[in-house]
Amino acid sequence: MFGSEADPETKAGIEDVDLSGRTALVTGSTSGLGREAALSLGRLGADIVVHGRDRDAGQRVVDDLEAVGADARFVAADFERPEEVSALAETVREEVGELAVLCNNAGGLFQDNSETDLGVERTFHINHLSPYQLTAELLPALSPGARVITTASVGHRIATLNLDRLAALTGLSPWAAYCRSKLANILFANELARRLVAAGRNVTSNSLHPGIVPGSEFSRALPAPAPQIGELVGEFPTTDSVEDGAATIVYLAASEAVEGVTGKYFARCRERRPAPDAVDAEAQRKLWTRSAELLGIEEPLADAVEG
């Protein structure tokens, strides 16, 4: 199915799943993979919260979702700004209620990796810290059986992440900053899975590589043509369509095949083994604690791992 013209739900084998009555928040759904995943989940009957910064693009996605019969609304939040992430979480908690699916998908490869107001390198803040904060603030809203899905990247395989140095780093290229933020995505998704189990929450957390997708905004920022990037990271030296990329997101969001599966990493709707650095339990714990410190918040799900 990958490489075909089919829509993401067909590629993922979930075209008969009925998500009526469930709500999904897809961050970064004003364009690219998030937009495609939002439309797919909407076609399956889910109510969708569309997110991004671009209000016009967000409204267009809402219009497209309503055209396929889905209930949809757009909520803007800039992931460089913790107060906007909090406002997004508050809107969802108070106006949407329960979430069955949280797709942590917003992110990208940014040319500017100076510090944000938190004193953190920008790519790390947008791609990792904000989804961490959003997930923490949405924990009370995740319904039994809910699924948290984090869009990482195969780029994590060539990343190095020093958790003691997260401020603006001289000489850190945008690509290196991107890859280390994507390693952080998998470390985060795995630690979240572990803590949810320890807390007795019936909520799963998985991460994925969506493919190398030239059809999205992201690819215009890559340091080399997409097929070369595929070769560089040693996996799938081919390119994927936006529908291919969204297929693994919606597979993790809705397939019965992954019901109860947690703490795993996927590509092309199949479980894969991530790089050894991504399954380093000590690094997972340290990133979790360090992220809370950087945000100045209490460590989420701390009780679950104490004593």
Instruction: Map tokens 């699924």 to a residue.
Output: 147
Residues 135, 141 contacting (CB under 8 angstroms)? no
132 in active site: no
> How many alpha carbons lie under 13 Å from residue 28 in its C-beta half-sphere?
23
- Interface residue with ligand NAP, options 1, 6, 57, 304 (CB under 6 A): 57
When the beta carbons of 98 and 214 are compared against ligand NAP, the nearer one is 214
| Residue 113 interacting with ligand NAP (CB under 6 A) | no
CB-nearer residue toward ligand NAP: 251 or 301: 251
Nearer to ligand NAP, 64 or 78 (CB): 78
**Minimum CB–partner distance for residue 303 and ligand NAP (Å):** 30
Signed CA dihedral, 293, 284, 91, 29: sign only? positive
> Of 24-32, 195-203, 259-267, 284-292, which segment contacts ligand NAP by CB under 6 A?
24-32
d(CA 57, CA 54): 5
25 lines the binding site for ligand NAP (CB under 6 A): no
Residue 260 and residue 196 in contact, taking contact as beta carbons nearer than 8 Å: no
Of 23 and 216, nearer to ligand NAP (C-beta) is 216
212 binds ligand NAP (CB under 6 A): yes
**Among 8, 25, 31, 88, interactor with ligand NAP by CB under 6 A:** 31
Pattern of binders to ligand NAP over 243-282, x per CB under 6 A? ----------------------------------------
Q: Which of 2, 7, 53, 297 binds ligand NAP (CB under 6 A)?
A: 53
Cα–Cα dist 190/148, whole Å: 11
Residue of 8, 32, 42, 274 that binds ligand NAP (CB under 6 A): 32
Q: How far apart are CA 210 and CA 59, in angstroms?
A: 25
Q: Note whether 219 binds ligand NAP by CB under 6 A.
A: yes
Cα angle 227-129-56, degrees, rounded to a multiple of 5 = 70
Query: CA-CA distances (angstroms) from residue 290 to 150, 196, 221, 284?
Result: 19, 18, 29, 10
Strand order in the sheet with 47-52: 72-76, 47-52, 23-26, 99-104, 142-151, 203-209, 265-267, 270-272
Residue 34 as a binder of ligand NAP (CB under 6 A): the answer is: yes
Q: How many CB atoms lie within 10 A of CB 21?
A: 10
By CB under 6 A, the residues from 136 to 165 that bind ligand NAP are 151, 153
* Residue numbers at the binding site for ligand NAP (CB under 6 A): 28-34, 52-54, 57, 78-80, 105-108, 126, 151, 153, 209-210, 212-213, 216-219
Task: Return the active site residues.
Answer: 178
